Chain A
């Protein structure tokens, strides 16, 4: 039914086929000196109907959570509630200018303050900054905070960041952006960071140890308290990568584990949409001794003697505080990805503390249910009770049949499931990382389990059928080598 190819928007329309959104305008030359005027603006003019068809067709060639299940490890692709979008789109919230005076922005500031305060309690931190735009941006923010903290202490020797071999790639990349060196820590036989390894690695040059818990194998770092103590004893700071925070809400708090700094991905744990790769939001939380270094601005609440209403922000007035001499400075043009703060706070209201606790419990249940339902057909390198995700390994399947983790992911696409995360974390060969989230029903999980089992059986009986996948998608496997060798990154009239 669908045309397999949709011509680029630049090949459609006719010059002058304009939609009348504004009245006809006087020529630019009436207002600008001749030398400043642009003469060529080579953009296509399309009718609104053609624009609608174009982008509707593109949407139909795109998987989203709304259309398909994403068992995507480390990415927490949960349902994105529509009430959140409706609230973010309220004109009074959406059209508020970032330079609006504080007196005219009290509602927006109350939203930010309530969210900060809820996150701080939920994760055991003294304060949160909503400034960073995404997880990697938050890591950079946190490392700049650490750098400022050590500078203030006059401790210039600390230039090393310890990351376990299960870490996300952003961790070392962020470390490089503050001039820190990276020491990678090998996981032990239990898939965890061992206390001995930390004790050996941490020293007078240690600035920060970056970890996530549960780690990217989906395993709880059960010695985390002792690990944090060892890093602290060496004078370093503990950083919690919040990519896996969906596993532990209401159950265990990074602050209680000994983390000094952390970030959250609101586009993972707090249900804001991924939007095809952003915008995200990466609030950074800190323990009390790091609060002065948070990026500017912070939302300051003027306390009143007694709250006048049922909610914490009622009866308080708020201000954006830029006057913070020890701050690392701002990380972005304006204060936060605010529309996402609206969404995240709405999500907190939809759950409350008990609901968020339940969210994490059921996320863990869903992941364990899948693991327990496929472990007879594929290797589970760390076959124990996992948290919100787990890893399987297609190594023995590959050895026996030639079918790789990559192929299994592609075969899932044919059956209407997004591929799991594959080849990450790096320490598990032919790794398949599955995270179902709590918003999927048992029936959906059963369907996925059946599809995965069918593929694992097909891999042994008819491996070529898996290697040839996908065949039911808009395109077959894509020639990535050609894309990289002959970069075609924009449309041009001569090449089409």
Chain B
């Protein structure tokens, strides 16, 4: 129960309060008092809790299968130093650093995170974090809506389907239209109709993801950017795999006004979907529209360097209904994990990890496309995942792989009916040549079985 009170403590404290019993202390009107017994899980000792959760763990597969899943959540190597530092109690159990004098360490770490995000994206400024990649996109689009006063947004279909779905949820609240741009034959965003679509200046923003959901590098071509600029539309660039920022031309360099994304890859576990860490970075011009917390560097009254939460006039606890967002609690500890990871890896380590992702993905692609019947679906260059066309149905192929101890990737038909014969496959620095070999062998078996059946 984690309550330290002895019966004597309770007696003494009740006497000070002047109430006879705990029941008297918490009494509520009969109409709202609890009557029926509560159906909460039973109380256990700590050792029994550990056993219970070992049972839950035994009912999941993580580690028991070779996995080629990515699609917005990536398994990477995390040096033990990251957890050892991040789990220090001062960080883990700290409150939001509103009391700057006793939060200098955490505030400096967030300032360093903001700097890392700015350096990685090439943007001028970044916030302290938002919930995840999808909500970062929604909040980034709200920035663009507020900047332009327009009520519609144009999103590439190659943006992560979950991100687009969350954007539609948020847009529903704001009565904003979400229209989509198709993808082209090579797996990148089809921008041939973009200039025409933007001509009437209806859209607040164009949203493109690179690498996109199919893994393809999808930085917009210059002509598309010109159409965006000339119609005073903002370009929102999504990065769902933050590690790619170490290898690819950063969002600022391909014209992005608002860079949003997911930083889970930097030291955070996939953790069945959370917590992860969203980021938003932007230009000086859009700084005051950025949602959530910002840490600034300033001086204390004795002239020493000091860090503090700043520009709070944007935030809900000051502006209430006029705030740039309702966000309050964000993902500080996940951002701290990412900051420590980035500090430990450094530019050299991060580039090496990114290069290994490219290398393993190339190796995976070569291995699976060497199996008769399998082919890469899209030709555009990729970072660490790609769409593989399989003989027959992707869902069937994945079921067959699962029987062989392999989670082969994501069935793209789940989000794109026209890609029901495609699997999104991912390789990272943790993907081993042995795993790739087993996958290729299994795919060959499946193809043979499929031929035998047909």
The listed residue (A276, A372, A478) touching B18 by CB distance below 8 A is A372
Within the complex, the shortest CB–CB distance from A99 to chain B, in Å, comes to 5
Contacting pair A64 B89 (CB below 8 A): yes
**A106 CA to B162 CA in the complex, in Å?**
22
Which interface residue of B99, B111, B274, B294 has the most chain A CB atoms within 10 A? B274
Interface assignment of A182: CB less than 8 Å from any CB of chain B: yes
Stretch at the interface among A53-61, A187-195, A203-211, A394-402: A53-61
Residues of chain A from 199 to 229 with CB closer than 8 A to chain B in the complex? 220, 222, 224-225
Q: Which A residues are in CB contact (< 8 Å) with B81?
A: 48, 51-52
Q: Which A residues are in CB contact (< 8 Å) with B224?
A: none
**A483 CA to B293 CA in the complex, in Å?**
13
A contacts with B, residue count (CB < 8 A): 211
**A174 CA to B322 CA in the complex, in Å?**
10
Contacting pair B32 A83 (CB below 8 A): no
**A62 CA to B94 CA in the complex, in Å?**
7
The listed residue (A135, A328, A350) touching B169 by CB distance below 8 A is A328
- Closest-by-CB residue of A relative to B37 is A353
**A135 CA to B326 CA in the complex, in Å?**
10
Within the complex, the shortest CB–CB distance from B230 to chain A, in Å, comes to 23
- Closest-by-CB residue of B relative to A32 is B381
**A156 CA to B22 CA in the complex, in Å?**
47
- Closest-by-CB residue of A relative to B276 is A333
Besides the known contacts A83-B50, A92-B57, A275-B92, 4 further A-B residue pairs in the complex with CB atoms under 8 A apart: A173-B320, A276-B96, A278-B329, A335-B273
Contacting pair A25 B91 (CB below 8 A): no
Interface assignment of B434: CB less than 8 Å from any CB of chain A: no
Contacting pair B166 A63 (CB below 8 A): no
* Given A46-B346, A173-B319: A278 in contact with B61 (beta carbons within 8 A): no
* Given A92-B60, A105-B61, A440-B4: A121 in contact with B40 (beta carbons within 8 A): yes
Interface assignment of A306: CB less than 8 Å from any CB of chain B: no
Residues of chain A from 155 to 177 with CB closer than 8 A to chain B in the complex? 168-170, 172-177
**A174 CA to B95 CA in the complex, in Å?**
22
CB-based closest 10 A-B pairs: A334-B273, A275-B333, A352-B43, A66-B89, A107-B59, A279-B275, A104-B61, A58-B105, A25-B355, A98-B273
**A74 CA to B332 CA in the complex, in Å?**
19
**A54 CA to B81 CA in the complex, in Å?**
12
Residues of chain A from 126 to 143 with CB closer than 8 A to chain B in the complex? 133-137, 139-140, 143
Contacting pair B298 A483 (CB below 8 A): yes
**A6 CA to B307 CA in the complex, in Å?**
11
Contacting pair A251 B26 (CB below 8 A): yes
The listed residue (A30, A46, A60) touching B343 by CB distance below 8 A is A46
Q: Which B residues are in CB contact (< 8 Å) with A325?
A: none
Q: Which B residues are in CB contact (< 8 Å) with A83?
A: 46, 49-50
**A13 CA to B300 CA in the complex, in Å?**
27
**A94 CA to B374 CA in the complex, in Å?**
32
Within the complex, the shortest CB–CB distance from A363 to chain B, in Å, comes to 9
Contacting pair A336 B274 (CB below 8 A): yes
Interface assignment of B165: CB less than 8 Å from any CB of chain A: yes
Q: What does the 1/0 interface line of B15-56 toward A look like (CB < 8 Å)?
A: 011110011011011011110011111111010111011111
Stretch at the interface among B128-136, B195-203, B386-394, B442-450: B128-136
The listed residue (B50, B298, B348, B381) touching A478 by CB distance below 8 A is B298
Stretch at the interface among A109-117, A231-239, A284-292, A456-464: A109-117
Q: Which B residues are in CB contact (< 8 Å) with A350?
A: 1-2, 43-44, 46, 49
Within the complex, the shortest CB–CB distance from A342 to chain B, in Å, comes to 7
The listed residue (B29, B53, B106) touching A87 by CB distance below 8 A is B53
The listed residue (A139, A330, A346) touching B53 by CB distance below 8 A is A346
Q: Which A residues are in CB contact (< 8 Å) with B239?
A: none
Within the complex, the shortest CB–CB distance from B245 to chain A, in Å, comes to 8
Interface assignment of A365: CB less than 8 Å from any CB of chain B: yes
Contacting pair A45 B346 (CB below 8 A): yes
Contacting pair A95 B40 (CB below 8 A): no
